[in-house]
Structure 1
Amino acid sequence: MTRVSVIGCGNMGGAFLKGLARAGGHHLMAIDLDSEALAAVEAHADETSNDTAAAADADVVVLAVKPDVAEAVLEGLDLSADQTLVTLAAGVSREFVAGRTDASVVRIMPNLAAETGDMAAAATTEGLTDEVRELLEDLGAFVEIDESLMDVSTAVNGSGPAFAFYIIDAMKTAGVEGGLDPEQAETLAAQTFKGAAETVLRDDRSVDELVDAVCSPNGTTIEGMEVLWDSDADEAVAEAVGAAERRSRELAEAFENA
């Protein structure tokens, strides 16, 4: 059984811990100075602590704190070369973290769907171990990337859920305006996105081929797709991803220059 300590039990750290608890097979330690944050995850952890020194016995330590406190937390951690430190701190380079610990370091960019086992994550090839791969597989799907691609990953899978929520809400609103009950419309819109995503992941056909498969000639879908094809919807999504990527790069540069 892998012993995992999660330092920082806010939104992302909490989702990470809850997802591992859901998967089972891990001894989980939740660590946070905020008693309310610990209380929120207490039911999902085997142990809780407000002292980072409690991570000393872990096989894997997950650093899920805000970037501006990462250095201070690292200074208080005494980890050995036998341990692995997984950093989720956005904009904080692997090199920065590795220079402040004896542990093996891997940087990942997950998202909140870790809680339900539907996470999409990117992990730096450098520092990635089979032990960490197994943890990530318990939380969802992940890709291995060079760290130079972490900013665009942050935009696609880190910020991406918010973009998807926005589009789901737009479809829900259209359903409500057409007469559906809000709860019905939300269920239909969200489940449709979930099913479409699963189809993309499991089907051998390309996305364009899947679009064609839904678009019967002279049918309803093709009428709607004509509106989308004639719009700038794809450009707006690309611009949103691009803006998030630029901001990720700015934050990383500001942190390194601080």
Structure 2
Amino acid sequence: MKKQVNSFILFFCVVFSSAQVNVKFIDHLSANNLAREHTTYLNSLPESDSVFYFKAKFAAKYDQGAFIINNYVLSQALCNADTNLNNKASIHFLTAADQRNTQAWFGIPGAFSAGKENNFNTVYKASLNPNLFSEENFPLELQKSYLKYKRSYNKKPVLAAVFSTILPGSGKLYAGKTKTFFLTFLLNAAYAVQTVESGKKLGIKHPLTIINATAFTVFYLSNIYGSYRAVIDLRKERKKQFITDATNFYN
């Protein structure tokens, strides 16, 4: 208890007695994951480039997207010189769900070493449109992942739907789902045959014929939409894998 009280007193002495940024104290707070104390200390300091820089580092450590950007912009010269900060923030935004903040981060004027390309910026631009680059723009370890994403990016969902309209399941084959192609084709073929046979034997108004025709229609339309979605899902999957591979490699 006495130790906790002493630490508490020491903390507030540092906070209220120092107008300068105590870098060693900040490192201590960061190393021990004392987020609340870290926030209190930074907020107690008068605003300056250095304070905004350390706030940006804090935000990057705890994945606070908008807070990273706000403080980075207010202390861009210091932040821009910190490679570790830039890399950590870039990884956060590449893998974040909030695309608005991601776009804002990679669109900061003059960022990334006075506007020069860096690895994460290249990955971000390639994730938006891989056709802007070639495999030579990436190290050998990332080329396979990049080419997979590029091939999936260039596949057209509408074309997959057209293929499956002509031959049920072929759009799934176009999306690289071979097993699903055979299953979809066989199901549609089975219901088509049953519909024709029951129509011939029982008539088109017979309940069994109507049931078979309805089932065939549902499976046929689902096959078209499913093929369309399969290409979109393939794009997302390959994009996510490319970003994951790139961030793991460059981190």
| TM-score grouping bracket, smaller chain normalisation | under 0.3
State the TM-score, normalizing by the size of structure 1: 0.26
Structure whose alpha-carbon radius of gyration is higher = 2
State the TM-score, normalizing by the size of structure 2: 0.27
Q: Higher helix fraction: Structure 1 or Structure 2?
A: 2
